[in-house]
Amino acid sequence: MGSLRVLLLGASMGAGHDAVCAELARRLRARGDTAELCDVLTLLPPGVGPALRGFYRGTVRHAPALYAAIYALFLSPGEGPRPGSAPLAVTARDRLLRRVHAFRPDLVVSTFHLAAQLTGRLRARGDLPVPASVFVTDFAVHRGWLHRGNDLHVCLTEQGAATARAATGRPATATGPVVAPEFHRAAARPGYPVGALPQQAADLPPVLLSTGAWGVGTHTVRTARLLAAHGCLPVLLCGRDERMRRRAARVPGALALGWTDDMAGLMASARLLVDNAAGQTAAQALAAALPVVTWRPLPGHGRDGARTMAAAGLTAYARDPGELLAAVGRLLGPGPARDAQVERGRSAFTADAADLVTRPAR
């Protein structure tokens, strides 16, 4: 078969889903396919997408216990009937079908769980005339990703693929994460100046503290103080949260950065990532040969993903300050512990996701 026309459904919920969509589009276009990106939130009725994004951001930031309860009710794995996101997905039906009619794709690929519910429902009812694949961006595969109407689920790990096969009875496979090529190149550690590095801290090992695109974290500034007191240079990645950046900038011996377009360069300069989401930043660190320590993970899918990554040996999971400092001490410098975790992380990339997600259309 010749070149394909692929409609990619992402979501502007943070930056991770869009980053995966953009990288899949780059790979498809590089081999001659035509790829179009669509934010599934724009397919919802007017105002619903921004409201959903704002509610999610607000609950994760200000009411994490509430978000954990919502996740447990609607998304977490488990048996028995429970409410899901299908009613919300229904409201996007007509707009998606109009987009399909206008673009005429050979395949639709979802990189957000609401989109997966939408395409699965349409395929099951016979309303979507072309195959639908799902690229699952979470290490822990929750119920929202799974709909038996979809033709294929592509997961980050074989454990995730097994979960998808068991739940849907449909094909599922694993590729590892999807990250841009510059993160794999960063593994060569070419060195990179990290902002205006204070002269007095020039010899300290930089440790990145990730809070995602929205700057969401628990006691992140306190963690920076803890690491600074133990001989590290904490580099707080505050995303687009300017208020957090200003607070973090007051921590003695720390460096606070806002949004950056050169995350690969920062990872090339750093010795360690302290992560709280098990999302795209953690996946990028695996490619960049940067050890990851999970600390105070976000509720719901963040915590489940962090546990899944740690169980696979991809990260270290710290449950208290003592474990955090022990993991940092173990992984910061050269040695067998660091080498082993880096190698496990790099071995997670097993196949090209662009090849696998397009199989139903070939």
pLDDT in tens, 319-358: 999 999 999 999 999 999 999 999 999 999 999 999 999 9
* CATH number of the structural domain spanning residue 286: 3.40.50.2000
The whole-angstrom separation of Cα 112 and Cα 239 is 21
Kindly tell me if the per-residue pLDDT of 147 is higher than 50: yes
- Please, which pLDDT band fits residue 190 given cuts at 50, 70 and 90? low
Q: What is the pLDDT of residue 86?
A: 64
List all residues 6 or more positions away from 240 whose beta carbon is below 8 Å from its beta carbon: 213, 214, 215, 258, 259
**Torsion angle, alpha carbons of 234, 269, 332, 177, to 10:** 100
Query: pLDDT tens, 259-274?
Result: 888 899 889 989 999 9
Task: For residues 53-60, give the mean pLDDT.
Answer: 87
Kindly tell me if the per-residue pLDDT of 2 is higher than 80: no
Domain identity same for 126 and 227? no
Query: pLDDT tens, 28-49?
Result: 999 999 999 999 999 999 999 9
Q: Which residues of 231-245 are buried (b: 16+ CB within 10 A; e: fewer)?
A: ebbbbbbbbebeebb
Domain identity same for 21 and 166? yes
Place of tokens 């991809």: 314
Place of tokens 């397009």: 358
Task: For residues 192-210, give the mean pLDDT.
Answer: 66
The whole-angstrom separation of Cα 39 and Cα 10 is 5
Element spanning 237, H or E? strand 233-237
Domain identity same for 172 and 257? no
Domain interval for residue 246: 181-346
Domain identity same for 241 and 140? no
Please say whether the dihedral angle defined by the alpha carbons of residues 44, 47, 53 and 59, taken in this order, is positive or negative.
negative
Domain identity same for 141 and 229? no
